[in-house]
Amino acid sequence: MEKKGQHNPKETNSMQNEVSQKQKTKHFTFAHWYLTAFFLILFDLAACIGSYFLALWFRFDCHYTQIPSAEFSAWLRFTPIYAVVCIAVFWALRLYQSIWRFASYIELKRIALGSVIVGIFHAVFITVLFLQMPIAYYIVGFALQFMLTLSVRFAYRFVVLERGKRAKMQREATGSRVMLIGAGSAGQLILRDLHHAKEVNDYVCCIIDDDSNKWGRYIDGVPIVGGRDSILLNAEKFHIQKIYLAIPSATTDQRRDILNICKETKCELKNLPGLFEFVTGRVTAKSMQDVAVEDLLGRDPIKVNMEEIFQFIQDKVILVTGGGGSIGSELCRQIAQHNPKQLIIFDIYENNAHAIGLELKDKYPKLRLEVLIGSVRDSMRINQVFRLYKPDVVYHAAAHKHVPLMEYSPCESIKNNAIGTYKTAYAAMMNGCKRFVLISTDKAVNPTNIMGASKRLCEMIIQSFDRKIREGKANELSPLHVHTQDSEGSMRDIAHPVQQPQTDFVAVRFGNVLGSNGSVIPIFKKQIAKGGPVTVTHPDIIRYFMTIPEAVSLVLQAGTYANGGEIFVLDMGSPVKIDTLARNLIWLSGLRPDVDIQISYTGLRPGEKLYEEKLMLEEGMRTTPNHLIHIGSPIPFDTDEFLKQLQVLMKAAYDGRDDEIRNLVMEAVPTYHPAEMQGNAENHPL
C-alpha cells in the first residue's frame, strides 16, 4: 500500500503523458497557409490538365469533334501521370510555401524553372509512352500553363498592392507629410518600409538627393525633386511636416550642412544614426531617431587610438571613483569591453552604482567586477579599498560638479573635491598604484566659482604629489586629519607607504558634457515639451561641448600618454553659444523660437561666467601624438606653501566657515576671482 503523501511513479508518468498529449492537441492550429496551398494545388491541377487540352483544341481550330481520337486518347492517358509530376516538382521548388504578398524575382525564377522542367517532361514522356503530338501542342500547352501558374500567384500580390495604394491614399490624407533626404540604398529601404508599415502613419511626398542624375526620376512612385539647395523650396511646395535624413555614409560636415538647412523649414527632423544600422540590415522607419543636437556642433567627433588605450588597460586592476556618475559609468562601460584584470566601481550613491553594476554583469558575465559603496572623504574606507584590491590605475571622477549648488555650499565643495582628491591620491601612492588620472574641467581655468576653484585645487594637489615623488620627498606628503579624535576623517592609521612611490599623477581637462547629469540639453528638452519658456541665463554666454564617449576616450588616452604631472586638454574646436543651442533644439523639435516657444533670459547664475577657457595664458601648450589633445605646461607654485594652505582650507571646510572659505581659496589659487553672488530667488540655486 502507498503511504499517504507518496506518489505512484507509473501513475505520474501516465498523467504527464496525458497532459503532454492534451497540450499538443491544444497548441495545434490549422495555419492559414495550408488552405492557400490546398487551393493552389487544385488550381495547378486544373492548369496542367486544361492548358494542354486547350492547346490540342486550338490546334484543331477550336472544334472538339475534329480532334483525332489517337491524340485525345494520348492526352487523356498521360494526364494523371503529368498531374502528379507537376505537383511534386512545384512542391520541391517551394511554390506552395512562399508568401505571395511579397512575391518577387525569386518566385518568378522558381515558377519559370518549374514550368520548364514539367514542360520538358511532358514533351518527352507523352511522345515516348504514347504518341508524338503536333508541335503547336507542346508550345501552346507550355505557354498556357506557365501563364496560368504565374498569373494566379502574382494576382494576389497585385491585389495586395492595390489595397496598399488605397491605404497609401488614406495615409496621404491623414498622415504626416514627409521629405526623405537620400535616394540611396538606405533611403529606398526607409521608403519601402514607410509604404508598408501599418504602425507608421507617415507619407513620403518627395525625395532629395545631391546626385543630379536622379533628379526628375521616381522611386516607388515618389519623385526625386532636387538636391539640398532645394530643401526649403520643396518643403514649402509639398507642405512637408517631417524630414527623414537617410544618408548613413554622410560625413559629419555634410550631415551638419544638411541639418542646418533642414532646421529652417520648421519641420520635425528624424535621422538614421549611421552605417551600423545599414550594414546589419536594421534600416526601417523605426530606426529613425530624433536629430541630436551634437549633430550641429561646430567640429568633428574626437578620435583616439582605442587600441593603444586598451592595450594599456588590459590585465590591469582598474578603480573608478564616482563610477555611477555620467562620466564614471561611461568609463566603466568602455573599460569593461577590453579585458581588465578586475574593475572596481566606487561610489557613494548606491542607486547609480547598483545600476551600472547590473548593466555590466549582464553584458560581460566573465568580467571580474566589484561594486563598492563609500566616500572619497572617508580616508579609512578609501585606504581599505586600495589596500585590499591594489588597483594599478585609478580614474578619479568622484566630485561635486554643479556650479550654482556649490556656490551655496562652498565648504562641501572643498571637502569633497579637494580634500577627497588628496585622500584618494594619498591612498593610491601609499598602496603602490601605478597611475592616477584626475577628471578635471575647463571651469578650473581662471575660476570665478567655488566649484571651478576646487577643481583647480585638485589639479594643484595632483601636481604636488607628482613633484614630491620625482624629488624623492614623498614622505613630506603628510596624512591629513581634521581633529585629534576624528576617527573617520583621519589618515593617521593609513598603511605604511611603499619604499619608493612611483605613481604617475595626471589630470584631464574638458568642457561641458552633453547628456550628463545636470546638462543643459535635457533641461531645454523638458522645457520645450512643456511648451516653454526655454530659460537661457544670458544671450551671449558660450560653452565648449563634447559628448560623454568623447570625454571618456580623452580620459583613457591621457592614461596612456602620462609621464606624470601633465594636464591634458582637448581641442574642442569653436565654442557654442547657449542661446544658439536652445534655438537649434527648438527648430529640431519642429517649432519656431520666439513664436511657438519663447526664450527667457534669466541672468547669470551664482558663480557663472560668460565664457570658459581651455587653458590659462601662463600654461602654454605642447602637442601629443593625437593632434586634438594638448598638454598644458604646469604653472609654478610653492608646493610646501600650498600644502600648508590646504591644511588650513580643510580645517575651515570641516568647521563650516562658509564666510571665510572663499578668501582662503583665493590665497591658495591666485587665479580664482569669485564673481558676485548674482541671480534672484527664481534661479537660486539651480
CA distance 331 to 325: 10
Is 443 designated active site? yes
543 forms bridges with which residues in the sheet? 576
Residue 440's identity, in one-letter code, is S
Q: Where are the alpha helices (DSSP H) in 267-325?
A: 275-279, 306-313
Give the other-Cβ count within 10 Å of 12's Cβ. 10
| DSSP string covering 555-596 | HHHHHHH--SS-EEEE---S-EEHHHHHHHHHHHBT--BTTT
CA distance 138 to 372: 83
Compute the Cα dihedral for 314, 317, 322, 324 and give only its sign: positive
Three-state SS at 305: coil
Q: Which of 214, 270, 316, 443 is catalytic?
A: 443
CA distance 192 to 170: 17
Residue 658's identity, in one-letter code, is D
Q: Would you say 289 and 267 are in contact if contact means Cβ atoms under 8 Å apart? A: no
Q: What angle do CA 77, 81, 84 make, to 5 degrees?
A: 145
What's the start-to-end Cα distance of the chain, in Å? 79
CA distance 363 to 373: 22
- Backbone φ and ψ of 351, nearest 5°: -65, -50
- Give, as one character, the DSSP assignment of residue 442: G
| DSSP string covering 29-40 | ---HHHHHHHHH
Q: Would you say 535 and 581 are in contact if contact means Cβ atoms under 8 Å apart? A: no
CA distance 169 to 203: 9
- Give, as one character, the DSSP assignment of residue 293: G
Q: What angle do CA 652, 655, 657 make, to 5 degrees?
A: 60
Max Cα–Cα distance, the chain, nearest Å: 125
Q: Would you say 616 and 446 are in contact if contact means Cβ atoms under 8 Å apart? A: yes
219 forms bridges with which residues in the sheet? 222
Q: Would you say 422 and 480 are in contact if contact means Cβ atoms under 8 Å apart? A: yes
CA distance 203 to 167: 10
Q: Would you say 461 and 422 are in contact if contact means Cβ atoms under 8 Å apart? A: yes
567-570 β-sheet, strand order: 369-373, 342-347, 317-321, 393-396, 435-441, 504-510, 567-570, 629-632, 622-623
Annotated catalytic residues are 443
